[in-house]
Amino acid sequence: MQVPGNALEGKNVVVIGGTSGIGLATAMTAAGLGARVTAGGRSEEHLEKARQQAGSDIQFVQIDTHDDQGLEKLFSSIGGIDHLVSAATGGSRTLKPLVEQSEEEFQAAFGKLWGYAKVARLGAKHVADDGSITFVSGAPARKFRPNMGALSCVGGAVENLVRCLAKELAPVRVNVVSPGIIDTALFDWMGDEKSERVAQMTKGQLIPRIGRPEEVASALIYLMQNGYATGTTVDVDGGQLLG
């Protein structure tokens, strides 16, 4: 059987939350495969760093996943989208027991879900019938430590949202990638203790190390290119779910 060539060559790819971490790695990988990539993020600091890192291969724009008018303007300006990705955090995370969280703290975590829902609601009409929408959840959706209840609830909701959208938006494909512990700016607050702390966090995994953004990006690229995958959660977690 003949293997298809590069399915992203010349395609329009949009990555919301594409100026750092997993999103930026996805944008850069897609651009390296010949896609026309637009990547958006709300932080001017991240935008500037991303421009320096990626050069002119990617069009970077400032956008907030909760900005309805901004998203609509961005999607309309592109004309037609082949693959739409959102890796934006979209909300704040409170890491403490659920029973100790305020209503506001718990609801704030769901900013990620609402942000993804807006990206889908405003972007779906611009996505080609043979295109895709892909989100990012996280391993805590199905396996979590104490104090991660809100994060788990949001991740589970995102994965269920994807299954609902896959049915409602077909033939557009909708999928989600669920990463484990990935080396992003999320852990920068650890400072000099980062290596030791991360080693403790990952020692029970089948692959006992922190993951790289590029390893998660490869799963997002796979879901863009595989025309037979929809409603699917792809785990990239070093075996964390089995640990």
- CATH no. for residue 142? 3.40.50.720
> Lowest-pLDDT range, 2-11, 210-219, 232-241?
2-11
What global pTM score does this model have? 0.92
Residue 7 located in a structural domain: no
How many separate domains does the chain show?
A: 1
pLDDT at 227 over 70: yes
Residue 204 located in a structural domain: yes
pLDDT at 1 over 90: no
Burial track 10-25 (b if 16+ CB lie within 10 A, e otherwise): ebbbbbbbbbbbbbbb
Residue 54 located in a structural domain: yes
| Active-site pick, 137, 152, 178, 195 | 137
pLDDT at 171 over 80: yes
Residue 144 located in a structural domain: yes
Active site residue 132: no
Length of the chain, in residues: 243
pLDDT computed for residue 186 by the predictor = 67
Residue 88 located in a structural domain: yes
pLDDT computed for residue 165 by the predictor = 98
At 64, is the secondary structure helix, strand, or coil?
coil
Residue 185 located in a structural domain: yes
> With contact defined as beta carbons under 8 Å apart, do 23 and 84 qualify?
no
Six-digit token pair at 65?
Answer: 């996943």
Q: Which residues span the domain enclosing 190?
A: 12-236
- CA 56/CA 145 separation, integer angstroms: 41
Averaged pLDDT score across all residues of the chain? 92
For the chain, give the percent of residues with pLDDT over 90. 77
Residue 36 located in a structural domain: yes
Fill in the DSSP letter of residue 171. T
Interval 135-145: pLDDT, tens: 999 998 998 88
DSSP 94-155: --S-GGGS-HHHHHHHTHHHHHHHHHHHHHGGGEEEEEEEEEE--GGGTS--TT-HHHHHHH
Residue 243 located in a structural domain: no
